[in-house]
Amino acid sequence: MRGAKGLHEPRALDAEPRLERAGLVVDPGVDDAAVVPRLMGRDRRLLVEDDDPRGGIAVRQRERRGEADEAAADDGDVRRLGQGAENTKLTAPFAAGVLDSRAMDLEYLMVPGAPPPPPTAPYSHAVRAGDFLFVTGQMPSDPRTGDRLVPGGIVEQTHQVMKNLQTVLAGAGTSLDRVVFARVYLVNFQDYAAMNGVYVTYFKAGRLPGRTCVGVTGLALGALVEIDLIVKP
């Protein structure tokens, strides 16, 4: 944008900071008012080199499907985003910070030995998404049936929840050592200290995951506690 004196429209006054925050650099002569709205929030690869110091820019846009970008493009690939773009040619990548649009592979896991989902609650025990594993909240259910709580109070129920989580993680090839974040759902906050006393024994000292504890008015089966996890195997 330097050296493009007189080319910027009033609505482009904040364009340069916005482009800098997006990690983009625009050649002199670019009409940022015409370009910025098309850059921000688009998952595109933009290639540009401006030969004509008039307001305007031409870009080549294509959906990225994992293949390498060409160093140049034919005139037929050029699409206007502003006025005065007909003399603009395309060369090297211009917006290296634009997000990759390739879809993330997902793997849905059902783990033998973990409490089976009841008919009224369709879910996977865990879903692997990229580098992370998202584990469905586990109840203090008897893993043999899935529809009955283990006997006892908050101590026994917290132990069973953690054991059920261990079963799911083992089935996914990982363990509690790799937990990044936990969410605890607690019906009665008078049980908070007792739940914590059990919970902390399942993690190594100094390696406690991030956590949120949420007070709720009730849980399925009349349970006192439920915990879900985000894990990086």
What per-residue confidence (pLDDT) applies to 186? 98
Name which residue leads in pLDDT, 7 or 175.
175
pLDDT at 190 over 50: yes
Residue 105 is classified by DSSP as P
Instruction: Render pLDDT for 143-158 as a digit per residue (tens, 0 to 9).
Output: 988 889 999 999 999 9
Q: What interhelical angle do 192-199 and 154-171 show, nearest 10? A: 40
Residue-range domain boundaries for the chain:
10-93, 106-231
% helix / strand / coil in the chain, to the nearest 5? 25, 20, 50
Instruction: Render pLDDT for 93-109 as a digit per residue (tens, 0 to 9).
Output: 444 433 443 567 899 99
Instruction: Render pLDDT for 100-138 as a digit per residue (tens, 0 to 9).
Output: 435 678 999 999 999 999 888 899 999 999 999 999 999
With 0-12 CB in 10 A as exposed, 13-18 as middle and 19+ as buried, what is 64? middle
Residue 10 is classified by DSSP as G
Give the residue from 161, 163, 170 showing the smallest Cα distance to 220: 161
> Token pair of 194, please?
């007792």
pLDDT at 183 over 70: yes
Q: How far apart are CA 77 and CA 73, in angstroms?
A: 6
Q: Please give the CATH architecture assigned to the domain spanning 106-231.
A: 2-Layer Sandwich (3.30)
What per-residue confidence (pLDDT) applies to 24? 52
What per-residue confidence (pLDDT) applies to 27? 53
What per-residue confidence (pLDDT) applies to 145? 81
Share of the chain above pLDDT 70, in %: 56
Residue 164 is classified by DSSP as H
With 0-12 CB in 10 A as exposed, 13-18 as middle and 19+ as buried, what is 75? exposed
Note if the pTM is more than 0.85: no
